[in-house]
Amino acid sequence: YENIMTCLKSGIPVVCGTTAWLDRLPEVTALCEAQKGAFFYASNYSIGVNLFFAINRKLAEMMNRFPEYDVTLNEVHHVQKKDAPSGTAVTLAEDILAGIDRKTAWHLGTTTAPDELEVTAQRRAMVPGIHTVVWESDADIITLDHNAKNRSGFAMGAVLAAEFLADKRGTGRVYGMKDLLGF
């Protein structure tokens, strides 16, 4: 947060992907607007993950009509990952909640409350990131899965974000992957 604020005050465009400071996003947004800065935020910079986000949002909207399907979310990361669930899992969970009426909150860990979205987080050695959304009924199971093979996809997306932001000084705007990818 402090680094973001210092850069914006200095007129330096900022690309950020960390999540621990997000409760202060309104302050960052206000400073960005006041300073006519440029700020790019994403919980995940992988192009594949952002396509996965879009598919997840659309499927959640579609599944709102089918209450016989319950939904769960699981994420797996390397043991050095400090946050659980990951920002990517939180984004997926919030998009599911926005798309279906029968879930009102996500819950980290096992839950049997019908209005809670169960989110599980596992940590294993050498796993860049696996995110799985499962829609299950008595009749069948629909599984959406994204598996990062390595970290190069995250780096590529961050570089694309920085290139995108390079000519956005003076806009006073906060941008995200939807702006970069056009959806």
Active site residues per annotation:
77, 81
Contact 21, 45 (CB under 8 A): no
Q: Quick one: how many helices (H) and strands (E) in the chain?
A: 6, 8
Two tokens, residue 156 = 């590529």
Round to whole Å and give the CA distance between 39 and 162.
10
CA angle, residues 25, 27, 30, in degrees to nearest 5:
110
Question: Which neighbouring-strand residues pair with 72?
Answer: 118, 134
